[in-house]
Structure 1
Amino acid sequence: PDAETGAAQAGHPGHADATPTSTPTSTQAAGVAVPERDALTTWPDGLPDGRLPDVVTTAAGGLTVHGYPALVVEGAPAAASRPVALRVLADASLRDRRHAEGVRELLLGELALATGRITSRWTTAESLTLAASPYRTTDALVRDLQRTALDALLDETAGGAATVRDAAAYARVRGVARDALEDRTHRVARDTAAVLAAARELDTAVRGTTSLALLNTLTDVRDQSARLVHDGFVSATGAGRLPHLVRYLRAAQHRLAKAAENPGRDEGLAWQVHELEDLYQDAVAAARTASGDAARDARLVEVRWMLEELRVSLFAQHLGTPQPVSAKRIRTALGR
């Protein structure tokens, strides 16, 4: 995000990753113009065969300049309404991710269900738990639940939103999403309620721990919980991984109980995790200053969750991990 902010400041003031100011807003691909568009409400019309080209070229200062068309989300992430625009990006590595976000938000604008319709299916227990979420309002929570449901449906239907680059594909996924969005959103809400319940139990355990010998452990557990559960965490985590957050939070609660029995052992295990987390943060910082690399960024996301699995393996082994995890495996992944 920091790198994107810099790109926005250096290029088009209205959006990140824009083409340089010397590049016109109508760029040529095989002789066909691709104009930039604002405030889209559905798939943009006027494209050749309804398709958004992967790359376009134009002449600028005697050089051939490449641009990468994408639907992009504009406006603040916390805004209730986030407009979608067609932009020609300067960085190929950002095209697919930005386009995936744009397709999802465009579908959300067309298909979003009213908050009351979504909340009417919640049980009393779910309603009470979800009301205590870190989201600012119920409307914001419901919108993020639907974003997450759309991501899951797009992955299943089209292999991901980034692959949707023509009107026919968009119409197809819109039809599938229209029929399945409500039920999938309910499933996401159910998983989210389970996460929030586990987070509440962990918070109760933290508040009930008063030993000064566990001060470092308490700080670490609080920080971990804040990383996992925050405003926007549902779509940031994704539907497929949401249930794992329950296990991570329960592992942290089990850790508190065991740390009270042997604070020294807990400190030693925590040191192993923190050393790897520092290496991970160094890698993230380096990635922000390097050229775009989608494969590298995907590996960093993988490492982030490997670190959570390592915590389970070290502090609550009885809860299990989906695949083997170790400090050596994480170092190898970071080395890549």
Structure 2
Amino acid sequence: MVDIAKQVEQILTAVFNINKRLKGRVDMTMALGLSDIKAQMGGLVYRGFVTGNGFKRLGDTLRYLQAIEKRLEKLAVDPHRDRAQMLKVENVQQAWQQWINKLPPARREDEDVKEVRWMIEELRVSYFAQQLGTPYPISSVNRQFFQSFFNVRKP
């Protein structure tokens, strides 16, 4: 229980720090990336996220937030590269959402279906903060899996 509380504290601290960086004047070249980051954070940390995502995902959630921090550092330096990477993730997310919408509602709650959502988070880490690592390789093979599984067109 103490471990869970520590992880939640680290997650909330990371969210606080990211939100501080998101405030203020925004360079228009960074606006889309910042909007994507806000949407990603909303899917990771929300009221009830520990139960909703599962306490086993807390360590991953913290790593995803650390990846967002790395992304923010790189975004300021090269917003065009960030945009290109974001479009790749966006294509996968859109295809995944279309696939999910075609599933019967009960099937959407199955673990293998939910796991794809976490694979997309790992894809984000591989694009924006590769130095943090992923629990399994997100290579071009995995990217090809996303493209063929969801019939994602290349950007």
Compute the TM-score of the two structures, normalised by the length of structure 1. Answer: 0.41
| Among candidates 69, 78, 86, match of residue 262 of structure 1 | 78
Other-structure match for 1:241? 57
Other-structure match for 2:124? 311
Residue-by-residue CA offset, 1:150-194 (whole Å, 9 max, x unaligned): xxxxxxxxxxxxxxxxxxxxxxxxxxxxxxxxxxx3221111111
The CA distance in 2 between the partners of 1:253 and 1:208, in whole Å, is: 16
SS at 2:13 equivalent: helix
CA shift for structure 1 position 208 = 4.9
Give the partner amino acid of 2:120.
L
Structure richer in helix, relative to its length: 2
Unaligned runs of 5+ in 2: none
| Among candidates 272, 278, 298, match of residue 111 of structure 2 | 298
Alignment of 1:330 onto 2:149: no
CA shift for structure 1 position 283 = 1.5
CA shift for structure 1 position 209 = 5.9
Count of aligned pairs: 148
Other-structure match for 2:9? 193
Give the partner amino acid of 1:225.
M
CA root-mean-square deviation: 2.0
Residue-by-residue CA offset, 1:95-142 (whole Å, 9 max, x unaligned): xxxxxxxxxxxxxxxxxxxxxxxxxxxxxxxxxxxxxxxxxxxxxxxx
CA shift for structure 1 position 277 = 0.2
Other-structure match for 2:28? 212
CA shift for structure 1 position 264 = 1.1
1:283–1:262 CA distance, 2 compared to 1 (3 A): same
Unaligned runs of 5+ in 1: 1-184
The CA distance in 2 between the partners of 1:209 and 1:221, in whole Å, is: 16
CA shift for structure 1 position 213 = 1.0
The CA distance in 2 between the partners of 1:320 and 1:284, in whole Å, is: 27
Taking the TM superposition and a 5 Å limit, the aligned residue runs for 1:101-116 are none
Contact persistence 1:234–1:242 (CA under 8 A):
yes
Q: Percent identity?
A: 32
Displaced runs of 4+ in structure 1, greater than 6 A?
none
Contact persistence 1:303–1:333 (CA under 8 A):
no
Residue-by-residue CA offset, 1:236-281 (whole Å, 9 max, x unaligned): 1112111111110111121111111111111110000000000111
Residue-by-residue CA offset, 1:66-121 (whole Å, 9 max, x unaligned): xxxxxxxxxxxxxxxxxxxxxxxxxxxxxxxxxxxxxxxxxxxxxxxxxxxxxxxx
The CA distance in 2 between the partners of 1:306 and 1:272, in whole Å, is: 14
Contact persistence 1:303–1:334 (CA under 8 A):
no
Taking the TM superposition and a 5 Å limit, the aligned residue runs for 1:52-63 are none
| Among candidates 100, 113, 128, match of residue 284 of structure 1 | 100
SS at 1:260 equivalent: helix
